[in-house]
């Protein structure tokens, strides 16, 4: 992932309450750059929300 974010870091951010990519970036100390990882972040957020 960009900003050197790992799947585990994203999952931790979601577990801490992040529900949008912007919140995940903030929790991980990064920010959107090219946006290519946004789909992966959204997928992990959806997984964490039980697929809603």
**What's residue 22's pLDDT?**
95
pTM given for the model: 0.82
Average pLDDT over residues 12-39: 92
- pLDDT at position 52 over 60: no
Count of domains forming the chain: 1
Contacts of 28 (CB under 8 A, 6+ apart): 3, 5, 9, 10, 13
Please give the angle made by the CA atoms of 31, 8 and 19, to the nearest 5 degrees: 55
Domain residue limits at 42: 2-48
Distance CA(49)–CA(52), nearest Å, equals 6
| Residue 4 CB-half CA count within 13 A | 1
């Amino acid at each position: 992932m960009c900003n050197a974010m790992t799947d585990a870091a994203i999952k931790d951010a979601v577990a801490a309450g992040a529900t949008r990519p912007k919140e995940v970036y903030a929790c991980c100390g990064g920010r959107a750059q090219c946006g290519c990882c946004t789909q992966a972040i959204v997928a992990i957020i959806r997984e964490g929300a039980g697929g809603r």
